[in-house]
Structure 1
Amino acid sequence: MADELRVGIIGANAHSGWARESHVPAVQALAGLSLAAIATNSRDTADEAAKAFGTKGYASGLDLIADPAIDIVTVATRVWVSVKPLPTKSRMARELAPPAP
């Protein structure tokens, strides 16, 4: 494993939101973590977020999860957005920690 754990965040918008205000700055500030990827729900917003945060962007959370270069995935979407897809995502042999309601 690398010296830093590579983190991917699902649901980080470049302009607003909980992930932008808390998850991204926390990952960037913590020693041993590196923000490696962002996933949103469209190519346009993924590109905007990737540019804003200086990282790789995915238009699908499933694509981010499938990336073997990502060590940790955090789901920072609204609870009603993330609850339904989690069973599908969790079958991808990756551990996911959804946000607490």
Structure 2
Amino acid sequence: MKHDTPTCTNEYADQPTRPVDAFAHLIASLRRIKRKQAKLSQERKEHEAVIKAALVAAGAEVGTVNGVPVVSFTHALRIALDQNLLKERYPEIAKECADISEVATFRLLGV
């Protein structure tokens, strides 16, 4: 069985590496899953857009099937902090409130 194997690159030459050949089948499976997810995500957005448009056109917030509520589309206000504006107007306070945290990121590389 041929797995999706990226070509060798020096982009990661300075980073610690470990062979994961034993997991090649899982990596190939992850690539297939990501492709399916992208397709399903697009399909979901398209379906939601049609249903939202129908609810808006009817002036409704809840959609029913056989009289049973199955979807809702509501609007709400949300308060958000504009970090750029805070940094522009109050740079010292923005620095004082800044927090550094470590984030771990997993990526499928190559193909």
TM-score normalised to structure 2 length: 0.20
TM-score normalised to structure 1 length: 0.21
Q: Which has the larger radius of gyration?
A: 2
